[in-house]
Amino acid sequence: MDRWATRTGALRRTLLTALAVASVLTVVSGCDPVRPPQRPAGASRRPVETAPAPTGPTPAGPTSGVPAPDLITPGSSVHRITVDGRTRTFRLYRPGHLSLAEPVPLVVMLHGALGSARQAEESYGWNTAADRHGFVVAYPEGLNRSWAVSPDCCGPSARDGVDDVAFVVATVAAVAARLPVDPRRVYAAGISNGGMLAYRLACDTTTFAAIGVVAAKLLGPCPAPAPVSVLHIHGTADAVVPYDGGPGVLDNGGTGPLPVKIGGPAVPDQIDRWREIAACGTPQVRSEGPVTTSRARCPDGRGVDLVTVAGAGHQWPGGAPLTPAERLLGLDPPSTALAATDAIWTFFADHAR
């Protein structure tokens, strides 16, 4: 067996062990398996839990118009809505200094498989970026820590046929019913399984002006995506969602109680296809150390960009350092060559609808 096969097998065993350990800890403790709770900078000390949003028909997207004051307090809060007969949860961060005199941008941040809304809020620095730049962040919660992005992926949500696209759209509508969200500046970001859902949102809705995807790829058909801008960030050493295409180390062909099927073309080929559909121009390529950025300008001010981080694994560049438990599980450390959150927000700010 060659060295790469040995390394891949070892990584697969480590990740499968991580999945098993995380699942057990989740069932036993009911909390995030590897990252202790922290209070985000600028957030209220205890999240405020709101009453359930009214059920019934859900608007297709955000509206402007200033709501009654103090329906969503500054800081972090927890909200529940009903979608397809299921109670769904999302967290929301509203900066304390954010003026609501004018419509504000909204970023929807989607955690990865085995992650959670709270973990995403604590790990990737979006609250700090919201404080600095003046926007609101929603963190939807996947059922059983997974998102359904195809019949074969991923995990319990795919197995049970959950409509996570409808949930995210309903989340945007619920936030817009309580805060003056600018419909021209609604964005989705996600990592891994969450990034796959961000792609589905671009394919299956017209809610979002741009998406930012980290360590993910598009699964399933998407012949006519909405006219959105796309920023894709990927490490060349990602063994879970391989940069060069093909199945990752957790792929089980989409079978069994926890289906995972992640295949398809190499990431650059997928981006090239998206650019072709969007009628983009020839990309401009620039490299700085391990980071290579390929930018393509498209009609109506849109962009489709690919940022490649040489040697980086399955991680969020610039994210919080690994905890001791995460290191013990053998998870890939965040690259320090790029601050993904800052890069994605800069891209979003330049690409309103």
Cα–Cα distance, 265 to 245 (Å, whole number): 5
One-letter identity of residue 20: A
pLDDT at 45: 31
Residues 14-61: pLDDT tens digits? 444 444 334 332 322 233 333 433 333 333 333 333 333 333 333 334
pLDDT at 71: 66
To the nearest whole percent, how much of the chain has pLDDT over 90?
Answer: 74
Residues 201-251: pLDDT tens digits? 999 999 999 999 999 999 999 988 989 999 999 999 999 999 999 999 999
pLDDT at 44: 35
pLDDT at 287: 98
Mean pLDDT of the chain: 84
pLDDT at 5 over 90: no
pLDDT at 292: 98
**What residues contact residue 203 under an 8 Å CB cut-off, 6+ apart?**
218, 220, 221, 222, 225, 226
154 cis-preceded (ω within 30 degrees of 0)? yes
**Among candidates 219, 161, 175, 225, which has minimal Cα distance to 72?**
175
pLDDT at 336 over 80: yes
- What three-state secondary structure class fits 344? helix
Which superfamily does CATH assign the domain made up of 37-349 to? Answer: Alpha/Beta hydrolase fold, catalytic domain (3.40.50.1820)
Cα–Cα distance, 208 to 271 (Å, whole number): 18
Of 25-29, 79-83, 148-152, 207-211, where does mean pLDDT reach its minimum?
25-29
Cα–Cα distance, 185 to 238 (Å, whole number): 31
Domain boundaries, the chain: 37-349
- What three-state secondary structure class fits 305? strand
- What three-state secondary structure class fits 219? coil
- Find the farthest-apart pair of alpha carbons in the chain and give their distance in angstroms, rounded: 65
- Report, as an integer, the average pLDDT of 284-313: 97
31 cis-preceded (ω within 30 degrees of 0)? no
Residues 262-276: pLDDT tens digits? 988 999 999 999 999
- Report, as an integer, the average pLDDT of 135-155: 96
